Amino acid sequence: MQTFKPAIIAIALSAFSLGGCATKDFVREQVATVDAKAQATQSQVDQHQTRLAQLDQTTKEALDRATAAGKLAEGKFLYSMVLSDDSVKFRPDSSKLSPEAEQRLTEFAEKLKNDNRNVYLEIQGHTDARGPANVNTRLGEERAEAVRLFMNQHGVPLNRMATISYGKADPVADNKTRTGRAQNRRVVMVVMS
């Protein structure tokens, strides 16, 4: 009986030490998994912080444009002209002026010159509701800027015009219909003294 005891003790110690090695390997695997998840989470946090910084810059630019428009709006409203009727609608995702729009703008520029007034124009760009807000804001600005540059080519001084984009924020028609969306893709020119 005495000879079996040291053998049993040796077997028990071997089993215990093997279990300890298995436990260490398991713990290492778990720690590695947690470390990988932590690194992935940190990467996501970094990406979100970068995106927030970009949004903060976009917000600042929008505020600057709104402030400039507010200063311009201190003048007295005279009248407005809207580029959105059937012959002048903007195509989806486009800021290109149609030949009909160019004709109307040429006539409008001549009217401004013939009225011989020192007027200011606020050129407002609008879009339909399809697409992300930041894309629509940019597209509204591009539409307003296309009109501003065209008007300047036809004799209206740049310092008498300001642009602002409302994107999809100020619809005049239902965005659920094709006709409504077409009406919302527009540029409004507000004339002030």
Tens of pLDDT, residue by residue over 23-63, are: 777 777 777 887 788 788 888 888 888 888 887 787 777 77
Sign of the CA dihedral 80, 157, 151, 163? negative
Residues 138, 185 within the same domain:
yes
Residues 95, 177 within the same domain:
yes
pLDDT of residue 6: 64
Closest CA to 75 of 115, 104, 118: 118
What CATH number should be reported for the domain holding residue 160? 3.30.1330.60
Residues 43, 128 within the same domain:
no
Residues 128, 56 within the same domain:
no
CA-angle at 166, arms to 96 and 189, nearest 5°: 65
Residues 105, 176 within the same domain:
yes
State how many domains the chain has: 2
Closest CA to 187 of 88, 118, 100, 75: 88
Instruction: Report pLDDT digits (tens) over 158-169.
Output: 888 999 999 999
Residues 37, 98 within the same domain:
no
Q: The whole model's pTM is what?
A: 0.57
- Would you call 191 helix, strand, or coil by DSSP? strand
Residues 90, 51 within the same domain:
no
Residues 108, 187 within the same domain:
yes
Instruction: Report pLDDT digits (tens) over 71-113.
Output: 655 657 666 767 655 555 677 777 888 888 888 889 888 888 8
106: containing domain: 76-192
Residues 80, 17 within the same domain:
no
Q: Could you say which of 48, 72, 96 is where a domain stops?
A: 72
